[in-house]
Amino acid sequence: MDLDCKDRHAACLFKETFCDGGGSLKIWKRNCPSRGGDNRSSVEGITGRVFSFSKGAFQDVLENNYESLHVLNVERNGNIIYTYKGDKGHIFFGLYDCKTRQNEHLYTFEKDLQVVSCSVNSERTLLAASLAQSTKEGRRNELQPGSKCLTLLVEIHPINNVKVLKAVDSYIWVQFLYPYVESHPLSENHLLLISEEKYIEKYHIQVTQEDGNRVVIKNSGHLSRDRIAEDFVWAQWDMSEQRLYYIDLKKSRSILKCIQFYADESFKLMFEAPLDISLSDSGFKLVNFGCDCRQGQEKLSKHLTLCVFTNHTGSLCVCYSPKCASVEQITYSVFYIHKGHSKTFTAALGSAGTHVTKGITFLNLDYYVAVYLPGHFFHLLNIQHPDLICHSLFQAGNNEMIDMLPHSPLQSLSGCLVLDCCSGKLYRALLNQSYLLWFLWNTCLDCEKMAALHCVLSCGRGLRVLEGQIIQWVSENVSACHSFDLIQEFIIASSYWSVYPETSNVDKLLPYSSVLTWNTDIPGITLVTEDIELPLMKVHTFKGYWEKLNSNLEYVKYTKPHLHYNNSVVRREWHNLISEEKTGKRRSTAYVRNILDDAIKVISNLEARNLEPRLTPLLQEEDKHQRLLMGLMVSELRDHLLRHLQGVEKKKIEQMVLDYVSKLLDLICRILETIWRKHNLHSSVLHFKGHGGAAEFAVFHVMTRILEATDSLFLPLPPGFHTLHTILGVHCLPLHNLLHYIDSGLLLLTETAVIRLMKDLDNTKKNEKLKFSIIGRLPPLIGQKICRLWDHPMSSNIISRNHVTQLLQNYKKQPWNSVIDKSSFRVEFLPLNYFIEILTDIESSNQALYAAQGHDNVDAEFVEEAALKHTTMLLGL
């Protein structure tokens, strides 16, 4: 996507790409998941058409039986199991290998049966299938008498025996467990059986090799099994993480439980969490135990939807949509268990009489949960930072985002997979950055700008090109937002995401937004937030995800005040250092030196990351005040993280702090570079001569907005920023406006800028007025230094005044005893003569002190000459 993204047509939020290539049954999936199904490294959204046909062994069968082609399951390694019916009604089982992109025939049942569920082990040696008798009128019962569902275990490497696991009058679902380690064949496989009679069992299946590669079941007459759960009303299988969630009812309370399965054959009950929802009359419901294409639209729209989502940061969300009864609005809830509260959203459906014919789909999109009601709305909920509603994106009605999404019922599978039940297409739902950038350029609502900005940064963190496109948008829209400061929000959010993946708990310690409260309503959305009971963890040692979840729960449980870092301490300490500098007092030089050394590290770190030459003269100037501020921020932020980040190496924290502060400065530099490049400014702008045009004024305006944004947060600016800002201010502003900017603090005079001003401008009447106004506003120490560079009566006058003030500040009147040779005075002006005599007397009596202070040949005679020249100038003589 080029930089001018605002002029491009929007892409679909979920991008669809069609496959090509050989293979009889092509199931296309880009960025196929690795073991565990984790696809977080992918940054581009894709949706793939499940089936396309080309020449191959099964081409005729498939083309003639397309309607019978169904996806049954997507295993943890990404392989897809599907079935289709042959001309004679036989059921064919096939597997698509996502790594080799080849299809493999697994097994054929020579009976016309309905497949309820199917799973294959990781070695593809065992196939578990649950079959139901055909319901077509006049068709005889194909199963054992009295049974409704037959569950079989088949040896398929090569095809050998078939063992009946269950023959019962209730539906059975099957699922093989997939261990993390797949480097060698397992001697024992584990199979979950989920019964409609509300129990779950785990079968232990030992296998052995005979006659070479022939794999057979050992002790097939008696397979040991464990009862995992019973008396539940709802269950969900997390394929990628090998977790089982289920809900049982205790005294009409819905208790969510989770069992974690491990590679060493063990399993543990991890937690119990009460949910404030009623499932007593909802019937039996399963999620993610294969693909159920038989759900009708009517069933989807009238029955509740419940699912659990997690991600690698330790989040745990329960998404719940009750039965839909209203034709005007629909309600759903998200329990942010890792945050200790729930949010209930009520979305208007538009005009009265609008009927909901399709069910809500919840999608897991890493840092977000998408809530989609075909034809009505698409909501993108921020689960990492759900505190403010403006961090979530709400789209409703007729717009391009909703129009481009599938309008048929969707079934969410493990990970980011989604099945379109009508078309049979399988999607991997990932956010499309191109569309989000287009949306960022074109939306008008502040809440949508805020949400889209955070969404783009979170799903494309670390991508410099993407960040550059956002910077262009920021630089052209600095005044477009009324509810928040766009520059502040971008700097804080982007800096946060630049270091967020490095360690856990950073989200609790670093600010991710400049907005503390949001009081503006979101059109069409009402929201109720409630505290919830935290889950009771049933284990005592945690690893991986569970350690992060437990850390989140501990934070909610014991940490009441927010621990987000702010610069209040830095502000106070910086003002103290500046005050000490003005009064000539300064604490130990070692303390100040350490602070300045931290600033040097930041600038070195920043320059090492930026290999391109800069257009603007930033980071090339000393600017001690900004370096002090920079070093203080490094020092205070490092102490803050060291206090609260337990178990993280000090060296890692120090590098994280340097990266964070460097990122702040880099973003400011890049915003300025972008606007500089846009207006094609050149080096002549860096001199005080000449007048500024529209380009200089545009850059000056952006710099002023940057200054306002950083000042309220008390963030450092790159050295050289204030000098450049002053130069542009002199170019663009009338004198009275310029002085007003200086007096109000919007323009900060630096020594470099004033020295350049004195050298660049001649002594015309207009320039003299400007120079004198500038010098009069400088701190005394800098003012004295600057005056010595300006050979002008005004400058001499100022030097003389400062000299006199310094001499007389401790002067005590002495009895008159004139020893001065009056013949040395050229003018008989008694008041001046008397004053000069006093100064000469002070100088002669304190000659050692006077010489030590080094006054650059400023003495009573210099004062006399300056006074006479100034008087002459004032009288016009």
Q: What's the pLDDT score for residue 146?
A: 63
Half-sphere exposure of 769 (CA within 13 A, CB side): 8
Q: Which of 658-672, 810-824, 828-842 has the lowest mean pLDDT?
A: 810-824
Residue 371: per-residue pLDDT:
92
pLDDT band at 42 (very low <50, low <70, confident <90, very high): very low
Q: Are residues 63 and 144 in the same domain?
A: yes
**Structure confidence at residue 601 (pLDDT):** 94
| Residue 685: DSSP 8-state | G
80, part of any domain? yes
Write down the pLDDT at residue 780.
Answer: 62
Helix axes 433-442, 464-476, angle to 10 degrees: 10
CA-angle at 573, arms to 570 and 577, nearest 5°: 130
* Distance, CA of 730 to CA of 692 (rounded, Å): 8
pLDDT at residue 7, as a whole number: 32
User: Residue type at 64?
Assistant: N
CB contact set of 139 (below 8 Å; sequence gap of 6+)? 112, 133
Residue 466 contacts residue 433 (beta carbons within 8 Å): yes
Q: Are strands 16-17 and 46-48 parallel, antiparallel or unpaired?
A: parallel
Is the same domain home to 590 and 727?
yes
Pairing of strands 368-373, 361-365: antiparallel
CA atoms within 13 A on the CB side of 14: 27
**Mean pLDDT computed over 650-657:** 93
β-strands 199-210, 214-217: how paired?
antiparallel
- Residue 647: per-residue pLDDT: 80
Question: Scanning the structure block, which residue is given the tokens 């020449």?
Answer: 55
Q: Which amino acid is at 53?
A: F
Distance between CA atoms of 816 and 733, rounded to whole angstroms? 53
Mean pLDDT of 203-214: 82
pLDDT of residue 460: 76
**Distance, CA of 178 to CA of 190 (rounded, Å):** 8
**Of 614, 617, 596, which Cα lies nearest the Cα of 720?**
617
Tell me the per-residue pLDDT of 595-614, one tens digit each, with 9 for 90 and over: 999 999 999 999 888 777 78
Range among 59-68, 690-699, 712-721 rated most confident: 712-721
Q: pLDDT at position 56, please?
A: 35
Q: Would you call 707 helix, strand, or coil by DSSP?
A: helix
- Are both 771 and 857 inside the same structural domain? no
Indicate if 760 and 822 belong to the same structural domain: no
Cα separation, 234 vs 253, in Å, equals 13
Q: What mean pLDDT is predicted for residues 68-95?
A: 85
| 786: pLDDT strictly greater than 80 | no
Residue 729 C-alpha from the chain's centroid: 36
Residue 168 token pair: 């019962």
Last-in-domain residue among 363, 396, 430: 430
Highest mean pLDDT among 112-126, 342-356, 762-776: 112-126
CA torsion through residues 780, 784, 789, 791, sign: positive
Judged against a pLDDT cut of 60, whether residue 83 lies above it is answered with yes
Question: To 5 degrees, how large is the angle CA 590–CA 593–CA 595?
Answer: 115
Q: Element (H or E) spanning 735, and its range?
A: helix 735-744
Nearest 10 degrees: CA dihedral of 856, 860, 863, 865?
A: -110
Confidence of residue 43 (pLDDT cuts 50, 70, 90): very low
Confirm if 149 and 126 have CB atoms less than 8 A apart: no
pLDDT score, position 252: 76
H-run or E-run covering 60: helix 59-64
- Top-confidence residue, 492 or 278: 492
What's the CA gap between 595 and 597, in Å, rounded? Answer: 5
Determine, yes or no, domain membership for 755: yes
Which residues pair with residue 336 across a beta bridge?
A: 317, 341
- In the block, tokens 């310690």 appear at 509
With respect to residue 518, please indicate whether it lies within any of the assigned structural domains.
no
Provide the percentage of residues in the chain whose pLDDT is more than 70.
75
Which stretch of DSSP H or E encloses residue 472? helix 464-476
Tokens of 408: 């048929």
Segment 337-360, tens digit of pLDDT: 999 999 999 998 865 445 666 778
In a domain, 722, yes or no: yes
Residue 28, C-beta contacts closer than 8 angstroms, at least 6 positions apart: 17, 18, 19, 48, 49, 50, 52, 101
Residue 309 scores a pLDDT above 90 = yes
Residue-range definition of the domain harbouring residue 18: 5-228+410-430
Q: Specify the 3-state DSSP secondary structure of 236.
A: strand
Q: Which of 714, 788, 715 is nearest to 751 (CA)?
A: 788
- Do 717 and 835 lie in one domain? The reply is no
3-state secondary structure of 211: coil
**Confidence (pLDDT) at 3:** 27
> What is the token pair recorded at 354?
């609008």
How far apart are alpha carbons 387 and 60 in whole angstroms?
A: 56
Taking 50 as the threshold, does the pLDDT of residue 384 lie above it?
Answer: yes
Q: Which residue has the higher pLDDT, 763 or 742?
A: 742
In the block, which residue shows the tokens 């049933």? 538
Does residue 749 share a domain with residue 834?
Answer: no
pLDDT higher than threshold 50 for residue 4: no
Q: What pLDDT, on a 0 to 100 scale, did the predictor assign at position 829? A: 59
Give yes or no: residues 705 and 814 share one domain.
Answer: no
How far is C-alpha 811 from the geometric centre of its chain's CA atoms?
A: 64
- Band (549; pLDDT cuts 50, 70, 90): very high
Q: Which two tokens stand for residue 461?
A: 């963190």
- Please state the three-class secondary structure of 752-770 as a single string: HHHHHHHHHCCCCHHHHHH
* Token duo for residue 614: 């800069």
Q: Are residues 709 and 826 in the same domain?
A: no
- Tens-digit pLDDT profile for residues 486-526: 999 999 999 999 888 767 788 889 999 999 889 888 988 99
- Has residue 202 got a pLDDT over 80? yes
Confidence class for position 29, pLDDT limits 50, 70, 90: very low
pLDDT band at 296 (very low <50, low <70, confident <90, very high): very low
Query: Which amino acid would we find at residue 236?
Result: Q
State the pLDDT confidence band at 283, using cuts at 50, 70 and 90.
confident
Percent of the chain with pLDDT over 90: 33
Q: How confident is the model at residue 854 (pLDDT cuts 50, 70, 90)?
A: very low
In order of 19, 97, 586, 597, 675, the CA distances from 590 in angstroms are 66, 65, 11, 10, 40
Domain presence at residue 180? yes
Mean pLDDT of all residues in 660-676: 94
User: What is d(CA 15, CA 1) in angstroms, rounded to the nearest whole number?
Assistant: 14
Question: How many other β-carbons are positioned within 10 Å of the β-carbon of residue 757?
Answer: 22
Give the per-residue pLDDT at 405: 76
pLDDT at 463 over 90: no
SS3 of residue 22 by DSSP: coil
The DSSP-derived string for 581-648 is: HHHT----HHHHHHHHHHHHHHHHHHHHH--SPPSS--S-S--HHHHHHHHHHHHHHHHHHHHH-TT-
Whether residues 656 and 764 fall in one domain? yes
Secondary structure (H, E, C), 824-860 = HCCCCCHHHHHHHHHHHHHHHHCHHHHHHHCCCCCCH
Residues 6 or more apart whose CB falls under 8 angstroms from that of 582 comprise 779, 781
Q: Across-strand partners of 107?
A: 93
Per-residue model confidence (pLDDT) at position 381: 96
In 3D space, the residue among 175, 210, 206 whose CA is nearest the CA of residue 189 turns out to be 206
Tell me the two tokens of residue 256. Answer: 């969510």
Q: 589 and 716: one domain?
A: yes
The mean pLDDT of the chain is: 79
Rounded CA separation 643/116 (Å): 55
For the cut 80, the answer to whether the pLDDT of residue 403 exceeds it is no
Query: Which pLDDT does position 541 carry in this prediction?
Result: 87
For residue 864, the model assigns a pLDDT of 61
What's the pLDDT score for residue 128? Answer: 94
On whether both 23 and 166 belong to a single domain, the answer is yes
Q: Residue 102 has what pLDDT?
A: 86
CB 657 within 8 A of CB 634: yes
Nearest-10 Cα torsion for 27, 33, 34, 37: -120
pLDDT band at 54 (very low <50, low <70, confident <90, very high): very low
Tell me what pLDDT residue 98 has. Answer: 84
Distance CA 561, CA 245 (A): 32
Does the pLDDT at position 59 exceed 80? no
DSSP letters for 378-394: EEEEESSS-SSGGGSEE
Query: What secondary structure does DSSP assign to 88-131, as a single string?
Result: TSPEEEEEEETTTTEEEEEEEESS--EEEEEEE-TTS-EEEEEE
Average pLDDT of the residues in 393-412: 77
Q: CA 707 → CA 200, 348, 687, 718, distances in Å? A: 62, 41, 21, 11
pLDDT at 176: 95
Lowest mean pLDDT among 171-175, 423-427, 724-728, 863-867: 863-867
- 751 in any annotated domain: yes
Burial class of residue 492 (count of CB atoms within 10 Å of its CB; 0-12, 13-18, 19+): buried
**pLDDT at site 6:** 32
**Structure tokens belonging to residue 402:** 């909703």
CB atoms within 10 A of CB 875: 7
What does the alpha-carbon distance between residue 630 and residue 650 come to, in Å, rounded to a whole number?
20
Domain end: 790, 825, 860, which one?
Answer: 790
CA 731 to chain centre: 39
Among the listed ranges 375-379, 402-406, 506-510, which one has the minimum average pLDDT value? Answer: 402-406
Beta carbons of 873 and 793 less than 8 angstroms apart: yes
Q: What's residue 119's pLDDT?
A: 95
DSSP per position, 313-359: TS-EEEEEE-----SSEEEEEEEETTTTEEEEEEEE-SSTT----S-
pLDDT tens-place string over residues 220-262: 778 899 999 999 999 999 999 999 999 988 877 899 999 999 8
For residues 740 and 850, membership in a common domain is answered with no
pLDDT > 80? residue 678:
yes
Domain assignment of residue 724, yes or no? yes
Total domains in the fold of the chain: 3
Mean pLDDT throughout 443-471?
88
**Does 502 map to a domain?**
no
Last residue of a domain, one of 397, 430, 463: 430
Residue 131 has pLDDT above 70, yes or no: yes
493 by DSSP, 3-state: which?
helix
Model confidence over 89-113: pLDDT tens digits?
A: 788 899 988 888 888 888 988 877 8
What the block records as the tokens of 76 is: 């943890």
Mean pLDDT of 408-429: 78
